[in-house]
């Protein structure tokens, strides 16, 4: 089985990299980009039977820094 | 007086940090990240600057989960003295020993230069050799030194006199111009600047030596 973890900065946390991307898009002529947020995706190959609770534990302990980041888990 | 310097793959200020401790009179042992035990009779642990584990995932995140860091956290919880400079500060935040997070510099660029700092408290084992309010010159060299904390945390750190150093001219967007902070028991210091790079005449200045000298004062009384 697989899990895909999406990690994003929490709302309200400034994202200077996203802001730089927004500026670059403007420079390329893409008007109307009002905001860009950059996050990351981590794909995990897991032994069958691994629970969502275990993946959540991984997120809390290592994959995300919950002071500034939120995460969502997709199992497939 | 005994100090240990933790070495991770990617640490690059470990020997400089050891020299800083030695300059102040410490006997220093280097401890590899896979070790699980610290040397006996330690007075202080230093977490060096660098790019531990290539800054993968988040700066300091992988190092904070290494076997030796569990021992460092236990040492701190028992009242031991721990300091972390640059990547060491990032590691200490990731272990939870210090609050806040170091994010990408607001200007997105790596900054490497001499930086004026203000000593915000002389009431700590790391700053008692300075005068409160004094300005010192210490090098900075980082890409992810933007101390991020909400207004409540900044107010708490200031209110509890836990800001050790502030930037005079904020180089990276840090909240409240904060360059270095103390734990609640004041025995853990994390800071982005590099005092170990300002300890000997050949460095071009010795303003950083006070951090190590302060410790010798406290430990001599213990």
**Burial of A6: CB neighbours in 10 Å, binned 0-12, 13-18, 19+:** middle
Q: Is A64 helix (H, G, I), strand (E, B) or coil?
A: coil
B101/A16 Cβ within 8 A: no
Q: Which of residues 122-151 of B touch A (CB under 8 A)?
A: 146, 148
Rounded Cα distance between A18 and A24, Å, is: 10
pTM: 0.94
- Write down all domains in chain B, each with its CATH number in brackets: 2-221 (3.40.50.880)
Of the candidates B61, B101, B104, the beta carbon closest to that of A62 is on B61
Residues of A in contact with B103 (CB under 8 A): 13-14, 16, 68
Q: At what angle do helices B87-95 and B67-77 cross, to 10 degrees?
A: 70
Selected for mutation to probe chain A from B53, B57, B106 (highest A CB count within 10 Å) is B57
Whether pLDDT at B30 is above 80: yes
- Write down all domains in chain A, each with its CATH number in brackets: 2-75 (3.30.1280.10)
Of the candidates A16, A17, A68, the beta carbon closest to that of B101 is on A68
List pLDDT tens digits, range A45-65: 999 999 999 999 999 999 999
Q: Which of residues 105-124 of B touch A (CB under 8 A)?
A: 105-108
Whether pLDDT at A17 is above 90: no
B104/A17 Cβ within 8 A: yes
Residue in B closest to A58 by C-alpha? B65
Q: At what angle do helices B14-23 and B209-221 cross, to 10 degrees?
A: 50
Yes or no: say if B169 and B140 are a contact pair by the CB < 8 Å rule.
no
Q: Judge whether B170 is closer than 8 Å to chain A, CB to CB.
A: no
Q: Is A47 helix (H, G, I), strand (E, B) or coil?
A: coil
Selected for mutation to probe chain A from B53, B95, B103 (highest A CB count within 10 Å) is B103
- The predicted pLDDT at position B48 comes to 98
Question: Quick one: pLDDT band at residue A13, thresholds 50, 70, 90?
Answer: confident
- The predicted pLDDT at position B145 comes to 97
List pLDDT tens digits, range B129-170: 999 999 999 999 999 999 999 999 999 999 999 999 999 999
Known catalytic residues of B?
86, 194, 196
Rounded Cα distance between B126 and B92, Å, is: 16
List pLDDT tens digits, range B103-124: 999 999 999 999 999 999 999 9
A61/B108 Cβ within 8 A: no
Residues of B in contact with A62 (CB under 8 A): 57, 61, 65
Rounded Cα distance between B37 and B23, Å, is: 25
- The predicted pLDDT at position B121 comes to 98
Q: Judge whether A65 is closer than 8 Å to chain B, CB to CB.
A: yes
- The predicted pLDDT at position B221 comes to 81
* Tokens encoding A57: 């534990």
- The predicted pLDDT at position B32 comes to 96
Q: Judge whether B166 is closer than 8 Å to chain A, CB to CB.
A: no
- The predicted pLDDT at position B152 comes to 96
How close B5 gets to chain A, by Cα (Å)?
A: 24
How close A38 gets to chain B, by Cα (Å)?
A: 12
């Amino acid at each position: 089985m697989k899990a895909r973890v999406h990690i994003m900065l929490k709302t309200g946390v400034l994202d200077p990299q996203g802001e730089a991307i927004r500026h670059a898009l403007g420079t390329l002529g893409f008007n109307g980009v009002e905001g860009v947020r950059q996050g990351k995706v981590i794909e995990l190959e897991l032994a069958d039977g691994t629970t969502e609770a275990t993946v959540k534990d991984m997120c809390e302990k290592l994959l995300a820094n919950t002071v500034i980041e939120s995460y969502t888990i997709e199992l497939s | 007086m005994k100090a240990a310097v933790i070495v991770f793959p990617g640490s690059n200020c470990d020997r400089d940090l050891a020299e800083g401790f030695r300059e102040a009179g410490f006997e220093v042992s280097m401890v590899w990240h896979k070790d699980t035990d610290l040397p006996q009779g330690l007075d202080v642990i230093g977490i060096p600057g660098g790019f531990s584990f290539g800054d993968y995932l988040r700066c300091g995140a992988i190092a904070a989960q290494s076997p030796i860091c569990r021992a460092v956290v236990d040492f701190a919880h028992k009242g031991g003295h721990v300091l972390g400079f640059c990547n060491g500060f990032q590691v200490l935040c990731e272990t939870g020993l210090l609050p806040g997070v170091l994010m990408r510099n607001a200007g997105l660029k790596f900054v490497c230069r001499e930086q004026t700092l203000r000593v915000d408290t002389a009431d700590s084992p790391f700053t008692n050799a300075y005068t409160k309010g004094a300005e010192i010159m210490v090098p900075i060299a980082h890409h992810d030194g933007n101390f991020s904390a909400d207004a409540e945390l900044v107010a708490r750190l200031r209110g509890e006199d836990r800001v050790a150093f502030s930037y005079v001219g904020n180089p990276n967007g840090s909240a409240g111009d904060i360059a270095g902070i103390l734990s609640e028991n004041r025995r853990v210091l994390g800071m982005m600047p590099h005092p170990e790079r300002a300890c000997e005449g050949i460095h071009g200045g010795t303003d950083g030596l006070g951090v190590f000298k302060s410790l010798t004062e406290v430990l001599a009384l213990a």
